[in-house]
Structure 1
């Protein structure tokens, strides 16, 4: 079905002299075409700084029935991200989360999943689309200081000579 805003009518007789009608609610669902994740920064990341993860969900409807979760390894990073859009036709949307990686996060895989909730009468397992995994490249904040330290040592040694 491709009619996103349909409202069929049901006509019925209450008694022999009175006819009524009701509008039947119809929701057309479309699972996401794809889900992707990326860092909105240049790698490598530095420990203690803040970075943005962007999960993009493409061509899903209705978006209000979507729940998006971003993972670090197998651990969800907080509750599912909220959707407040009431658009019934397919849309694409970015979901953003800020992280502050530690040097222990070097090599950790990040990914996201989009789950389209089909309501109480829908299948028990709603459609889930997962992104590919991306690997964090995190350096210690000390690594950024090494060039400055070397320069200071060189100047100090030059002054001693």
Structure 2
């Protein structure tokens, strides 16, 4: 069985993330969406909230499951018998950032990285940009699932 991991913080999950996860699900027998938990970083949504949102977002993909993790993604790969890491690339700067990590991950464990270009209409979308635009009252409905938009709007209102 071929197994891949799509790691990330997913704070919040966007349609761009879901596009990459969906395409990975076509390439591998099983895809694990691994949500990184870094206690030193401040996130808009907590780990459990992000796991819940992703689980809901991928519920129609039978070969995809969602888990949280701490530490190195390579350790997660070894523990879960994962052969590949799938990363979405929006631009050449993403490639410049991801390539050294792909080499390091391969050197550490032999796990290969598969780069998937984002869909043209999603190439400028990031969780950070979605949060920033939404925090100023901008309409980000086209970039996130409806239930994520609702949670995002509520969380930003709570934070004032």
Q: Which has the higher helix share?
A: 2
Structure with the bigger RCO (C-alpha within 8 Å, sep 6+) is: 2
Q: Which has the higher strand share?
A: 1
The structure with more radius of gyration: 1
Instruction: Give the shorter-chain TM-score range.
Output: under 0.3
TM-score (norm 1): 0.25
